[in-house]
């Protein structure tokens, strides 16, 4: 995980197209005594996937790498906080596989908006992600739970993606591109280079 700028400006038409529209739909269902499970609510937020992707620089908020397509994640889940289903401030950008792992754990998971520089590192050549001692003590249990629950340390898909970006760098990708697409991998490379150690 890496820092993500917060707050993210709300799109100009969000209030009309998503928030108000969603609340009207809920009110109508309540009046008709037909309110379904929150998972069945209309996904008016889907229109804003691109806005959210841009705000996250097209990187997954937890995997911290560029993704071709991602999900609008309700940080506090639809199941537990139906009142926030149509709230822009509750949305994060995430790759689908990690979204499934996050489930309804809500604020037991570390929020990308909470993260600061240097809290996580990728180790070469294993491509495993580790916590550093920069993670504040009050947040370490949450950070450990997040890494375990979302398989951030050595999940097969994440490790494979890290390896691909690293190999692209070794094949000639400029460091500036690696920093953009896989910043934690870039940091791992720079750390070895600064220590005068050969790249594996």
Low-confidence ranges of the chain (pLDDT < 50): none
Counting other chains too, the contacts that 69-76 makes at CB distance below 8 Å and 24 or more residues apart are: 69/96, 70/94, 70/95, 70/96, 71/95, 71/96, 71/99, 72/43, 72/45, 72/46, 72/48, 73/99, 73/102, 75/106, 75/107, 75/109, 75/111, 76/106, 76/107
Distance CA 134, CA 38 (A): 37
Q: Which of 80, 113, 108 is nearest to 94 (CA)?
A: 113
Which token pair is 166? Answer: 């690293």
Q: Contact at 8 Å (CB) between 159 and 165? A: no
d(CA 110, CA 138): 12
What are the residues facing 94 on neighbouring strands?
71
> H/E element holding 73?
strand 71-74
Condensed to tens digits (0 to 9), the pLDDT of residues 154-170 reads 999 999 999 999 999 99
Local structure of 120: helix, strand or coil: strand
Query: Which residues is 91 bridged to in the sheet?
Result: 74
**Pairwise CA distance, residues 127 & 96, whole Å:** 21
């Amino acid at each position: 995980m890496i820092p993500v700028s917060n707050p993210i400006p709300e799109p100009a038409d969000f209030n009309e197209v998503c928030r108000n529209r969603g609340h009207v739909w809920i009110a109508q269902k309540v009046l008709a005594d037909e309110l379904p499970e929150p998972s069945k609510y209309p996904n008016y937020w889907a229109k804003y996937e691109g806005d959210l992707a841009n705000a996250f620089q097209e990187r997954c908020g937890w995997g911290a790498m560029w993704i071709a397509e991602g999900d609008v994640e309700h940080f506090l889940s639809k199941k537990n906080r139906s009142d926030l289903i149509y709230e822009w401030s509750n949305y994060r950008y995430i790759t689908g596989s990690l979204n499934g792992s996050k489930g309804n754990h809500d604020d037991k998971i570390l929020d990308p908006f909470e993260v600061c520089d240097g809290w996580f590192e990728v180790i070469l050549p294993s491509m495993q992600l580790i916590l550093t001692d920069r993670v504040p003590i009050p947040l370490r249990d949450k950070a450990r739970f997040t890494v375990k629950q979302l398989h951030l340390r050595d999940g097969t898909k994440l490790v494979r993606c890290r390896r691909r970006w690293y190999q692209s760098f070794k094949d000639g990708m400029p460091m500036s591109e690696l920093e953009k697409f896989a910043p934690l991998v870039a940091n791992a490379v720079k750390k070895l280079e600064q220590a005068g150690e050969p790249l594996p």
